[in-house]
Amino acid sequence: MVYTALLPRSWFGVRLIHAPTDRQPQRCATTLCDHLKAKCPTLADPSKAFYIPSWLMPQGDMQTIYLYTQHYKPAGCPINYDREIFEFSDGGKAAIDWSLPSQEAAADAPLLVVIPGIAGTSYDYYVRSFIRHLNEQLPGCRVAVLQSRGCNGVRLVTPKSFHGGLTDDLREFIKHICRRMPNAPLVGIGFSLGANILTKYIGEEGSDCRFVAAASVCNPFDIDTTVRNMCLPTLKNRYLYAAALTRSLVSVFTENEKVIMAGNVELDAAAIAASRNVSDFNVAYTAKVFGYDSEKDLNTGGSCVPFLKDITIPVLFINALDDPMCYKQTIPYKEIKDNPNLVLALTRYGGHLAYFEGTRLTPWLPQQLIMFICAMLEWK
């Protein structure tokens, strides 16, 4: 338990991890971290960057569970979307939910590409909260929330759904968006497993990446270690985290069982539906459908860490040490320090995608992301 009132303010400081100053990219004689310090003071200025969790729920599990309860309260944070059903080259379909700006946007207005977590949607609270704050502070921005196949009311039309390292669908999404809005500067925002997918994609694209910058929030980094930890037979995994994620995955299967079982890969429907954890589901369904020899090959091949060295745009990572789902042992400190384009903002507390503060349980995260977006759009 964290007794916030009894600890010094310095205990809650945001720790920045990055390459040495002489290796950082510079624009207009300003390094990346100096620019972040000036433009994102509550994230990057040591005298002002603090995250103090609410005393009402100071611990990561409490924060994460509370966030989950907010997914079912859209009236408290309403966002209107225009839905586009996007068709992939293999005939599969998925939804792009567009949050249109409150004022008419110019052709070169920024476009934020949001990728939710595993089986996540545009209606998850952390997505809605971010967009609501964005609309208030940057009314000319457009937002596209890219959702995985089989999610948010769009049924599968091919046997393949998604996995944590699948970047092919994101690549098609981005090409489509760039054709539709060729003059818009793109900024990527990835949450949880979506952060891993976004980061891996940016590394794969290298110097051809169309994003000008990106933020990765609560990235699991090492999927194999994350999945193995979530399969440990603890009470929290059995009844909370692994159980909730497994239910989400199994529901995608059960809602699309006829299409999935009609594919050319032999699957055991009963084994998939009876999955007790993410590993069971990966073994019974995901690895087989996507052509991997084993679950370990699926997980290691999908992790973003090997691609960090190839990233050529500024990427901000935000992770909490008390995240109960993305373990602190997986954070790749060395790889982040080795690439001068990468910055990690590390907090002691915050849980998984939660980061609530104060007695009113105000989300801390949206403001930090908006400051970063503004800073990157200015850093030319």
| Residue the block writes with tokens 């457009």 | 142
User: What is the spatial distance between Cα 15 and Cα 355, in angstroms, rounded to a whole number?
Assistant: 15
The encoded tokens of residue 119 equal 């089986």
- Cα separations in angstroms, 120 against 46, 86, 172, 249, 368: 33, 17, 19, 10, 21
User: What is the spatial distance between Cα 202 and Cα 270, in angstroms, rounded to a whole number?
Assistant: 37
User: What is the spatial distance between Cα 305 and Cα 188, in angstroms, rounded to a whole number?
Assistant: 18
User: What is the spatial distance between Cα 230 and Cα 241, in angstroms, rounded to a whole number?
Assistant: 7
User: What is the spatial distance between Cα 307 and Cα 327, in angstroms, rounded to a whole number?
Assistant: 19
| Residue the block writes with tokens 């990427």 | 315
Q: How far is CA 160 from the centre of its chain?
A: 21
Residues with active-site annotation = 192, 323, 352
DSSP structural state of residue 356:
E
Q: List, in sequence order, every residue forming a beta bridge with 345; answer none if it has no partner.
A: 16, 318
Q: List, in sequence order, every residue forming a beta bridge with 318; answer none if it has no partner.
A: 217, 345
Residue 66, number of CB atoms within 10 A of its CB: 17
User: What is the spatial distance between Cα 93 and Cα 100, in angstroms, rounded to a whole number?
Assistant: 22
* Sheet strands side by side (includes 111-115): 15-18, 342-347, 315-320, 211-217, 186-191, 111-115, 142-146, 93-99, 82-87
User: What is the spatial distance between Cα 115 and Cα 258, in angstroms, rounded to a whole number?
Assistant: 27
Stretch (H or E) spanning 113: strand 111-115
User: What is the spatial distance between Cα 22 and Cα 195, in angstroms, rounded to a whole number?
Assistant: 28
Residues 110/377, Cβ–Cβ less than 8 Å: yes
